[in-house]
Structure 1
Amino acid sequence: MKQIETMIQESDMVLIGVGDEFTEKKNSGDDILKAYQKLMELVKGKPWFLVTVNTDDLVYDAGVNSFFVVAPCGSERRGNVITNENYDESGYLPQWKYYMNWLASTIGKKLCVLELGVGMAYPSVIRMPFERTVQYNQKASMIRIHSKLAQVPDEIKDRSVCYDENPVLFLNKL
């Protein structure tokens, strides 16, 4: 666990991906809120951005600064989620553009990519792009925490740390 703190502290910037293991299907709402708060303590003082495929809005309930969050799969509270027939993606596009600009600013910087519970639901949103980011930015490193899918491709294995654990419970132990 100290290794995670060190990797984050030694980075210039932190890119966070949050997946479906951060939902109430896998954990209690209270544990998720505590984990988000622990996450914000970990990245305090660092430029960070968070991408989530979750639509439950718990990230906002935890007090995470929404200016640095993009949720391309939508919001249940707004009644606009990707699984709806009439899903309107225009709601997240301005924030996605801001995220893309932020991501471009990480080039050549020591970036810590922290992936929490991201499985194969919508892999083109977080999992695959995050792996490519680490592959192309030779100063980037990855921390992947997932109960079943914690492995990384060989191309980034030497700059990655993987934990086969529930990421919510893992963070709450820190």
Structure 2
Amino acid sequence: MQEIQKVIENADVVLIGIGDEFTEKKAAKEDIIKAYNILAKLVSGKPWFAVTVNTDDLIYESQLNKFFIVAPCGSEAAGNVVTMENYDESAYLPQWQFYRNWLASTIGKKLCILELGVGLAYPSVIRLPFEKTALLNQKATLVRVHSKLAQAPEELAERSICVSELPVRYLTDLCGSAADEES
């Protein structure tokens, strides 16, 4: 974890991807919110943006600034989820454009790409574009935390940190205890 904290500290900007291992299928709601709050503390003081494929809206219950979050798969609370027949894609498009502009501003900067629980559900939303971003930005470091799919492409091996762990448990167990020690 210290290595990941150092990558975040040394980064100019942080791009966060939140995947389906960050849901109540894998962790308790309280632990998920706690993990989001730990994440908020980790990126505090850094320009960051988060992309989530989760539709449970738990990310919005955390201390993370909602202005820098985009959820292209929709919102259960709004009754607009990508798996529904009448899914309205226009709901997230303005925020997606804001994210794309933000991402363009990261070119040439030290970028920490932090993927938490991003698997192969909707790989064209986070996993593949994040890898492409890391390949294009030679100053980028990819940090991938996933219980089964923590591998990075060979081309990114020297600029990647891969952790085979459930991301909520990883953040709450390792970071939570480290944060408690600092208090």
List alignment gaps of at least 5 residues for structure 2: 176-183
* Structure 1 gaps, min length 5: none
Q: The residue matched to 1:72 in structure 2 has which SS?
A: coil
* Identity value in percent: 65
AA aligned opposite 2:4: I
User: 2: distance between equivalents of 1:42 and 1:31?
Assistant: 16
Name the amino acid aligned to 2:132.
R
Deviates more, 1:74-83 or 1:60-69: 60-69
Matches within 5 A, 1:134-149: 134-149=134-149
CA displacement at 1:65 relative to structure 2: 1.1
Give 1:76's aligned residue.
76
Cα distance in 1 for residues equivalent to 2:171 and 2:134: 22
Using the TM superposition, give the Cα deviation of residue 63 of structure 1 relative to its aligned residue in structure 2, in angstroms: 2.9
> 1:64, CA displacement in angstroms?
1.8
CA contact (8 A) 2:40 2:63 kept: no
The match for 2:2 is 2
Tell me, in whole angstroms, the C-alpha distance in 2 between the residues paired with 1:63 and 1:75: 18
Report what 1:28 is aligned to. Answer: 28
Contact 2:16 2:114 in 1 (8 A): yes
Question: Quick check: 1:171 aligned with 2:171?
Answer: yes
The residue number in structure 2 matching 1:90 is 90
Amino acid at match of 1:57: D
Aligned-partner residue type, residue 76 of structure 1: E
**TM-align CA RMSD:** 0.5
Structure 2: distance between partners of 1:155 and 1:2: 24
- TM-score w.r.t. the length of structure 1 is 0.99
